[in-house]
Amino acid sequence: MKKTKYKIYISQYKDLIFCQAYYFTKCTEDAQDITQDVLIKLWHNLDSVPRKSAKAWLLRVTKNLCIDHSRRKRELVASAVAVNSDGDEFQLELEDCGLNPEQETINLDSKERIMDAIHQLPDKIKNVVIMREIQDLKYDDIAAALEMPINSVKVYLFRGRKLLFEQLKPFYGTSVFE
Tens digits of per-residue pLDDT, 34-48? 999 999 999 999 989
- Give the architecture-level CATH label for domain 120-178: Orthogonal Bundle (1.10)
Q: What average pLDDT does the segment 147-160 reach?
A: 95
* 3-class secondary structure, 120: coil
Q: Average pLDDT of the chain?
A: 79
> Between 4 and 83, where is the model more confident?
4
pLDDT band at 72 (very low <50, low <70, confident <90, very high): confident
The yes-or-no verdict on residue 14 having pLDDT over 60 is yes
Q: What is the pLDDT at residue 42?
A: 93
Q: Are 69 and 22 in contact (CB under 8 A)?
A: no
The yes-or-no verdict on residue 81 having pLDDT over 60 is no
Q: What percent of the chain has pLDDT over 70?
A: 76
69: left (phi over 0), alpha (psi -120 to 50) or beta: alpha
Please tell me the pTM assigned to this model: 0.47
Q: How far apart are CA 11 and CA 42, in angstroms?
A: 13
